[in-house]
Structure 1
């Protein structure tokens, strides 16, 4: 079974909607995505300097990683995932699927 990460850059639709954006992302979107087959966990990151996009990292395990991402996108298109207009969609969020090729964990800890 392949392991991967889906990297997604997003922005709030407007500065005054940032709190709503974070609430939706953390309380609605992440739980809905990790409930889908192929998605194991999710985490979000904020730019340390306060500039740039917010990033979501979805840990994945699936026989076919691109097919799992396709299922996610199809669920969005069918309205099975609750989306929010607090998420900026113009331009669309930037997504990139990465496959894990190596893992190193320090020894002696």
Structure 2
């Protein structure tokens, strides 16, 4: 099966809400994502030091295993439209899908 990753850059809307953002991401969002067939793992990162103004402070990397790497992402979007409330996010998240070359 082809493999790939989905990389998501995001930020809480207010740095003082980072604890709520992290709790939601860890306890709600990652389990929701990993419940979608094709998503097999998730890791989160935070910028070391202060993020530059206008730049996202958090990064999530999701591993994908599917014949069509867009299928799990489409299913996630469909499920997300009816999902639980989200904490306020800062600038819109940046989502990029990468396919494994070899």
TM-score normalised according to structure 1 size: 0.82
What is the alpha-carbon root mean square deviation over aligned residues?
A: 1.3
CA distance in 2, matches of 1:44, 1:3: 19
Q: CA deviation at 1:97?
A: 0.3
Q: CA deviation at 1:50?
A: 2.7
CA distance in 1, matches of 2:88, 2:5: 24
Structure 2 residue ranges without an equivalent (≥5):
none
The list of structure 1 runs, each at least 4 consecutive aligned residues, that deviate by more than 4 angstroms after superposition, is: none
Structure 1 residue ranges without an equivalent (≥5):
103-109
Indicate conservation of the 8 Å contact 2:24/2:87, yes or no.
no
Counting only pairs closer than 5 Å after superposition, residues 19-30 of structure 1 correspond to structure 2 as 19-30=19-30
Q: Tell me the equivalent position of 1:16.
A: 16
Aligned pair count? 98
TM-score normalised according to structure 2 size: 0.87
Could you report, residue by residue, the CA deviation over 1:31-54 in whole angstroms, capped at 9, with x for unpaired residues? 110111000000001111231420
CA distance in 2, matches of 1:83, 1:96: 23
Counting only pairs closer than 5 Å after superposition, residues 74-89 of structure 1 correspond to structure 2 as 74-77=78-81, 79=82, 81-88=83-90
